[in-house]
Amino acid sequence: MLHIVNKSPLDRNALDTCLATAQGGALLLIEDGVYAATTGNSAVGKLKQAMGQMKVYALKPDLEARGMADRVLDGVNLVDYGGFVDLVTEHATCQSWL
C-alpha cells in the first residue's frame, strides 16, 4: 500500500509511526513531510533505513516551495502531482498519516 506522510520528522512522530507500521509498499512525502527527504537533517537515518524496505517518493513542488529541492537525499524519487496520482492508482489502498 501507499503511505503518505505530511509532517516534518523533526516536529511530529508521523514518519516514525508510519515506518514502524508499514509492511513494505511505498512512502510518499508531501507538504512538511518533504523535509524528511533532505540531506543533513538529524532524522535522515530513519529514511535511509526505510529505503531498504520501501520505495520512497517526495513531492517536488513541495520541496521547491521550501527551497529544498537542491538537497534531496540519494534514492528519493521525485514526483509531481501527476506522479502522486499514479502512486495512488498503482496501490490498492493509501493511508495518510495525519
Partner 1 sequence: MKIAILINEGPYTHEATDSAYLFARAAIEKGHQVSRVFFYHDGVNNSTRLTEPPQDDRHVVNRWAKLAQDHNIDLVVCVAAALRRGIKDENLAPGFRISGLGQLIEAGIQADRLVTFGD
Partner 2 sequence: MSEGQVKKFMYVNRKAPHGTIYALESLEVVLIAAAFDQDVSLAFMDDGVYQLKKGFNTKGIEVKNFQPTYRALDDYDINKLYVEQEALEARGLTQEDMCVPVEVLTRAEIGKLMETQDIVLSF
> Least distance to partner 2 from the beta carbon of 73, Å?
23
The three cell numbers of residue 52 are 531498504
Name residue 58's beta-bridge partners: 29, 78
Cα 71 from Cα 3, distance rounded (Å): 23
**What is the rounded CA–CA span in Å between residue 66 and residue 55?**
23
Closest distance of CB 52 from partner 1, Å: 26
Contact partner, 20, from partner 2, partner 1, none, Cβ < 5-8 Å per class: partner 2
CB of 56 to partner 2, least distance (A): 17
Residue 21's binding partner among partner 2, partner 1, none (Cβ under 5 to 8 angstroms by kind) is partner 2
